[in-house]
Amino acid sequence: MHPYFANLIQLLQIERSADLESYLKLTQSASVADRRAAGLTWYPIAIRGTEPARGDYLSLEAERTTHHDISHQLRFGASAVLFSNHNPAQDRAEGTITFQAGNRLKITLRTEELPDWASEGKLGIELLFDNNSYDEMLAALKEAAKRTENPKEGGLAQILNGEGKPTFKSDIPRYEVPKLNASQQQSLNSILAARELAIVHGPPGTGKTTTLVQAVKALIKQDGKQILVVAPSNTAVDLLSEKLADEGLNVLRVGNPARVSEKLLSLTLDSKMNEHSSMKQVRVLKKQASDFKNMAHKYKRNFGRAEREQRKALFDEAHKIMKEVGNTEQFIQDDLVAKAQVITATLVGANHYTVRSLKYHTVVIDEAGQALEPACWIPVLKAQKLILAGDPFQLPPTIKSDESARKGLNITLLEKCIRLHPESVVMLNEQYRMNKAIMGYSSRVFYGQQLKAHDSVANHVLTEGEQPLTFLDTAGCGFDEKAEGTSTTNADEAAFLIRHLTTLITNLTPLMDCPSIAIISPYKEQMGVLKDLLLQEPALQPFSKYISVNTIDSFQGQERDVVYISMTRSNPEGTIGFLSDIRRMNVAMTRARKKLVVIGDSATLSRRAFYADFIGYAEGVGGYKSAWEFM
């Protein structure tokens, strides 16, 4: 096998083993309450309805009846199991989640009828290990390796692994979109001219999504061919689906959105099928099939030959009707897929059975800096031309195995292609989010000082004279960190942050409405401390709807007027652990529009050049303050 893909396959196998190990650790000895707390299980659930599904399967709608506040990982396309607490080891029926929104989901069970045990004891639904995603990634890598050996088929694959060079058309007229700035316009024309590969490098706030949407629109205008647009997360797919639909394009969203809005749901295959004129006939047929199955179930297990034959005849009739349902649904599905100008999905969702066999002239991968390379090959194999969009200096992909990360699985296809093919890259260099003082350090360290702030944001502040960037130095205050399991907390620093925020809001709100505020930290446990303190501060209660508290990872792609970062680490050894990932800090430091407040211990942080230089930068723009000034 081609060594490039053999290496990726080996790394993916290591990752799969580590992922499986952590899944088994979570599930094998854990109680149902622990599995529920880990987000793997809905328990208890109530069945809200069943209907026959294609392939003699059963579609079941379930609702979780308690613990609505616990976040979970049950998603469209995931393998899951219905179980009963009566005998959880034996009373199990496996299936696939076909819809999830709020506290309801639909699961297609690989069984024709609801098992008898479903009426005994309490029921739950639990996530199974995600073998499907790994199988899809491995199959894609094997296919890519095969194609690379064949020059006729492997043009794009050879360019992506560094064995070929991308080419560009020189004879196409320049395409102008008045609302795009110069670098966005350059990026769009590079995309139109590229024969095989174009890369949009989009630093924070530079309008990457706007550029991509206009490029997709221009490509469809150019040749009218269907385009596949994918991203690693449902949230990113939702954003693009909505923006593309706003431009008047016929968008088909494969899978179901993370954010449940009427607009997004209307783009899904389920919703479009329900609106289709032929669905009336399908509903009538499904009702008939259900009626026949219900009649068949009335015959008890201990019946004579005549009853057995009658039961079989009823089931045969139901099967015949469901075959007709399947054919009609397939016709509707094919019709909707053929009419779509843009198909949007997650990376693995690009191989969903509804669109699995499709090939596209152009495939767009957004947020490619967060995408695991093996997952990218699933949509890449469907393309003649690839557009990668993202930023290698923001959040990397999530990887479970330290070994696979160390050996290179953490290096994305985006990073490799930027290094191999600089001629395909256009960096967007004008940002529309941050005051120039907030932007400056990130621009210097990550983007070769090429970023510039648009006039509309360059000098915007909360109020006249308010400092846009502040580093509050807690060195010498005795705010010591504390280890909490695998995480870290710093209660004194958290209390200081809440006091500082209270003063800021108290001084601001007589003059203006409360700005939007994010409090973020790299440490999950520190988030818990901050949330508790926030609830205990009476002066902040009237403003709680304006304040969100979360980890850095959940804020990629988001922005707020004011951002507080609790650095948390403070120890005599200068150990900063998680903070060493400066890409994560780049995300944290570029979420604020008008005011960024970083709170940390300079004595601990300064052991790392990135933080020492940042503190120096804050001093240079007049934003350095000692926490002692506020004590």
pLDDT digits (tens, 9 = 90+) for 207-216: 999 999 999 9
Distance CA 517, CA 236 (A): 22
Question: For 591-618, what is the mean pLDDT?
Answer: 97
pLDDT of residue 303: 65
Written as six digits, the tokens of 308 are 């057995």
549-589 tens-digit pLDDT: 998 988 878 999 999 999 999 999 999 998 999 999 999 99
pTM of the model: 0.91
Lowest mean pLDDT among 26-30, 62-66, 177-181, 280-284: 280-284
Distances (CA, A) of 380 to 12, 198, 363, 376: 17, 13, 7, 6
Q: Which of 136-140, 161-165, 417-421 has the lowest mean pLDDT?
A: 161-165
- What does the mean pLDDT of the chain come to? 92
Q: Give the model's confidence band at 101: pLDDT under 50 very low, under 70 low, under 90 confident, else very high.
A: confident
pLDDT confidence of residue 259: 78
pLDDT in tens, 333-388: 999 999 999 999 999 999 999 999 999 999 999 999 999 999 999 999 999 999 99
User: Which residue shows structure tokens 């939702």?
Assistant: 238
Position 326 scores a pLDDT of: 81
516 DSSP assignment = P
pLDDT at 191 over 60: yes
Percent of the chain with pLDDT over 90: 75
| Percent of the chain whose pLDDT exceeds 70 | 98
Whether residue 48 is predicted with pLDDT greater than 60 in this model: the reply is yes
CA dihedral 51, 56, 57, 59 (to 10 degrees): -20
Cis amide leading into 379 (omega within 30) = no
Q: What sign for the dihedral angle of Cα 22, 28, 34, 35?
A: positive
What are the tens digits of pLDDT across the range 289-340? 777 877 776 765 556 677 778 777 887 888 888 888 888 888 999 999 999 9
Q: Lowest mean pLDDT of 141-155, 236-250, 405-419, name the range.
A: 141-155
Provide the phi-psi class of 479: left if phi over 0, else alpha when psi is between -120 and 50, else beta. Answer: beta
Torsion of CA 34, 36, 39, 44, to 10 degrees: 170
What is the rounded average pLDDT of the residues 602-621? Answer: 97
Ranking 3-12, 100-109, 201-210 by mean pLDDT, the lowest is: 100-109
d(CA 426, CA 423): 8
Least confident segment among 20-29, 179-188, 410-419:
20-29
How far is it, in rounded angstroms, from Cα 417 to Cα 425? Answer: 9
pLDDT, tens digit, 9 for 90 and up, residues 522-558: 999 999 999 999 999 999 999 999 999 998 988 878 9
Q: What is the DSSP string of 285-332?
A: HHHHHHHHHHHHHTS-SS--HHHHHHHHHHHHHHHHHHHHHHHHHHHH
Task: State the pLDDT at residue 266.
Answer: 93
Of the given ranges (270-284, 422-436, 467-481), which has the lowest mean pLDDT?
270-284
Bridge-based pairing of strands 469-473 and 592-600 is parallel
CA distance 94 to 83: 9
Contacts of residues 206-209 at CB distance under 8 Å and 24 or more positions apart, as own/partner, are 206/428, 206/429, 206/430, 206/431, 206/432, 206/451, 207/180, 207/181, 207/428, 207/430, 207/432, 208/366, 208/389, 208/390, 208/391, 208/428, 209/239, 209/240, 209/243, 209/366
Residue 499 tokens, joined:
């006091």
